[in-house]
Amino acid sequence: MKTRVLVIYYSFTQQTHILLKHFCYGLENSGLEIQYERLQPVEPYEFPFKSDLRLANVMLKTFFKKRNEIQPVSEQCYQDWDYIVLAGPTWSYHPSGPILDFMDRYGESVLSGKKVIPFISCRSYWRIHHLTIKRMLCRCKALPMAPFVFQHPTKEPYRFIGLLLQLRGRVIRGKWFRKHYAFYGHSKAQGEEAFHYGETLGKSMVEG
Ligand SMILES: Cc1cc2nc3c(=O)[nH]c(=O)nc-3n(C[C@H](O)[C@H](O)[C@H](O)COP(=O)(O)O)c2cc1C
């Protein structure tokens, strides 16, 4: 029988989602069966944010780990999975509000006794996020595995400025800025890297 993996994820600007797709192609390439569970907030955040104040408000709330209620998860979450990938972005140093809500309300019933692989997309800071998730996983008796972490490849301060612009739906077209900041988020090379990580991990899962 095939090794079965459930991928539970939340993605706001689709960066986690894009890398996750590559990662899962890699897992599938190694012969694993994959199913996806997308976490959806009851009240999704606006995108782009309509004002700086509204953006700052969300950043502040997530800094204090404010939960964002998600819609009920589907029945498939309760099946007997061999592994679970738990993926999402870093928000104000922490896991995002929807992931925190998932952990509070479904962590124990879905993840208890399961091998869980944290998968993180961030601009640059992920360690506190990882520590928080690891603690929460241990609390609900899951078995946390080594995380996969992807940081935006552009240098600071451009990636920080670029993130704020992206979240406010703004674009700077100036050549000088574009020279330092070609795109928001992850690169194609990171997509390929994610594929190879998935393939390698998949092989090790199949071998047992
Ligand atoms: C409200 C908010 C807060 C964020 N805070 C951080 C942070 O503290 N550290 C960091 O490295 N990235 C931070 N980011 C950037 C995201 O982690 C990054 O853009 C990630 O790739 C987004 O993934 P997604 O598109 O799947 O949502 C923040 C993004 C948002 C929307």
pLDDT in tens, 3-49: 999 999 999 999 999 999 999 999 999 999 999 999 999 999 999 99
Cβ atoms of 145 and 117 closer than 8 Å? yes
Regarding the beta carbon of 132 and ligand 1, being less than 6 Å apart is answered no
Global pTM reads: 0.97
Tens of pLDDT, residue by residue over 82-98, are 999 999 999 999 999 99
The domains of the chain, with CATH numbers, are 4-152+187-207 (3.40.50.360)
| Protein residue closest via CA to atom 29 of ligand 1 | 91
Query: What is the rounded average pLDDT of the residues 129-143?
Result: 98
63 CA closest ligand 1 atom index: 8
The residue whose CA has the least distance to atom 3 of ligand 1 is 91
15 lines ligand 1 (CB under 6 A): yes
